Structure formats: C-alpha cells, structure tokens
A = this chain, B = another copy of it.
C-alpha cells in the first residue's frame, strides 16, 4: 500500500540556489485495478528544493510500496505528485510516469506543481 511515511528528507545543502534535481526510476510496478495484471513504468521526479531534499533510498522504498496496489495510470501519477509535494514543499515539482505498452498503446502521464515547473 502506498506509504508516505517511507519518505525521508535531508536538509538542502544549497538553499540559496535555484538548482534542479531529477531522479529517474526505471523499476516502478503497480497493478491494473480492472484486470489485475501488473503494469510497469519509468517514473521521473524533477524538482527545485526549498528547505529539504528527498533521500534516495527512501524514495525507492516509497515507490516499492505501490508494487501490489491496484491503481490507474492517471491516479498514481497525481498521487505521487501530491505525496511528494506534501513532504518536500518544493519550489516546483514534476512527476512523469512512462508506462510500457498495453494492447499496443504506451502511455505517459505528467503532473506538475508550482510556477516555472519544466
């Protein structure tokens, strides 16, 4: 079950600079709520930190907590964005999920938060 308590942070080492952090996870998997079949995605997180940065191993465990969750592409993308915005309170943040094909169709969902997100 998605679990935000897994998300740990550390203090931003360069608070005075508007720099961009990007983490690309190529091993995300959840389950289709309609068919029960597994879905596989690459998840991109890109943000400008304010006070804190997300700890990398914690991020991995948070993503793993979706492994057996039945959830739609559009919902999981917005949920991850909401969870991370809640914990990081970033200047801006983007979450992009890139899903492997189903029935010959591959999908990308991209949710952003804040001014200047790119």
What is the bound-complex CA distance between A114 and B22, given in angstroms?
21
Residues A12 and B109 in contact, CB atoms below 8 Å apart: no
Chain B residues contacting A17 (CB-CB under 8 Å) are 78, 81, 111, 113
Chain B residues contacting A57 (CB-CB under 8 Å) are 102-103
| A contact residues vs B (CB 8 Å cutoff) | 10, 12-14, 17-27, 29, 37-38, 40, 49, 53, 56-57, 59-60, 64, 67-68, 72-75, 77-78, 81, 100-113
Q: Which residue of B lies closest to A39 (CB)?
A: B27
Chain B residues contacting A53 (CB-CB under 8 Å) are 74
Chain B residues contacting A29 (CB-CB under 8 Å) are 29, 38, 40
